[in-house]
Amino acid sequence: MPRAVYVLALGIFAMVTSEFVVAGLMPQMAAGLDATIPEIGYLITAFAAAMAFGGPFLTIALLKVRQKSALLLLFGIFLAGNVLAALAPDYRTMLVARILTGIASQAFFGVSISLASRLTRPEVRGRAVAVALNGLMLGTLLGLPLSTVIGEHLGWRAAFWAITVLTVLAALATLAGVPSADGDAEESGGLRQELSTFRNPRLWLTLTTSTFVIGATFSAFSYLNPILTEITGFSTGIVPVLLIAYGAATVVGNTVVGRLADRRTIPVLVVGLALNLAFLTGFALLARLAVPAVVMMLGIGLVGVTMNPALVTRVQRAGNARPLVNTVHSSFITLGIIIATSVGGPAIDAFGLRAPLWIGACAPRSASSRSCRTRCAAGPGRER
């Protein structure tokens, strides 16, 4: 595995840490920006919406730029947004900063995954994507708790300054450790050729599958804290430890899926969806029992968002491995997160805290049917 792929993971780690930082510092940011907790929550929604809808347009603007240069430009945009967030005098400025960083981070994911694929042999591309995406998993495992601790002890602005330092280090590592891929900008062939890829119905079915798979996981993940405290009965001091264990499970699952994604793409997804359905259903049924609830939660960590390397492999086979396809794929994944979190709240009001788990359990079934249709559309021998 080229060293550059691990450098790409560092950049993704920095951006994911920035994505999650608001969730851990809501009370402090509300007080500092003279805003309400729900208004601070909208900053998370704004970041996700900027990723889903703004990232592809920024990627289009960078189609003719070499991928390494594009990464450095995206670092610059993200850095500017993060500094603006650290200095934000009011809520409106912070909102602009979050939108700016959201757009840049989504485009960065797409270019990074594309470059990771270009830097490795075809037979290990799934593993390379998994290594790069470990930056996302580690952002959940380490980035969120570390930035929260910094914010609680040094103030919420210090957390954004820490992410700024991390971003600068990742940019310097990219400058020194990521080679330029010859011809990567010219290979795109222009916007018309890039958009022609999206005429393939199989690609759209594959993208939609990703929305359901990741949406199912985040339907549960977004509400783990209240479920574990109010239904299972864990103390608030224990929940952070459980969330760290969940993050560790995602790292393990992502590594395993990455090893299998290239040769066993469809079997990995079918087994993963079946297990995710079982764990989500089991969690909903056994949430009041401490040990089974923890086992089910860790199972969701192992087979939920960790399907990403296999999903990326499917998308690249249905479309291509270039930045625009990868960025749009990331947007569909983010759309799944937006839908899951927006539906989960009203469902809790209507049916209680277990509702997001049942919603998540329904999504793998929909994804499985789409996966089967995509496989049939591919024809025998075209998709493994």
User: Given pLDDT bands bounded at 50, 70 and 90, which one contains residue 377?
Assistant: very low
Q: Are residues 317 and 361 in the same domain?
A: yes
Q: Are residues 227 and 167 in the same domain?
A: no
Q: How far is CA 14 from its chain centroid?
A: 12
- 49 located within any domain: yes
Round to whole Å and give the CA distance between 72 and 206: 30
In total, how many domains does the chain have? 2
Q: Are residues 151 and 253 in the same domain?
A: no
- 132 located within any domain: yes
Q: Are residues 12 and 115 in the same domain?
A: yes
In this predicted model, what pLDDT tens digit does every residue of 12-32 receive, in sequence order? 999 988 887 887 787 888 889
What pLDDT is attached to residue 363? 67
Q: Are residues 156 and 269 in the same domain?
A: no
Domain range enclosing 232: 199-384
- 161 located within any domain: yes
Q: Are residues 322 and 236 in the same domain?
A: yes
Q: Are residues 2 and 119 in the same domain?
A: yes
In this predicted model, what pLDDT tens digit does every residue of 218-252 receive, in sequence order? 888 778 878 888 899 988 778 878 888 988 999 89
Q: Are residues 203 and 171 in the same domain?
A: no
- 181 located within any domain: no
In this predicted model, what pLDDT tens digit does every residue of 280-313 receive, in sequence order? 999 999 999 999 999 999 999 999 888 988 898 8
User: Given pLDDT bands bounded at 50, 70 and 90, which one contains residue 379?
Assistant: very low
Q: Are residues 160 and 308 in the same domain?
A: no
Can you give the CATH number for the domain in which 159 is found? Answer: 1.20.1250.20
Is the pTM above the cut of 0.85?
no
- Alpha-carbon separation of residue 232 from 284, 285, 297 (angstroms): 11, 11, 12
- 75 located within any domain: yes
Q: How far is CA 374 from its chain centroid?
A: 23
In this predicted model, what pLDDT tens digit does every residue of 59-80 receive, in sequence order? 998 888 888 999 999 999 999 9
- Is 60 exceeded by the pLDDT of residue 371? no
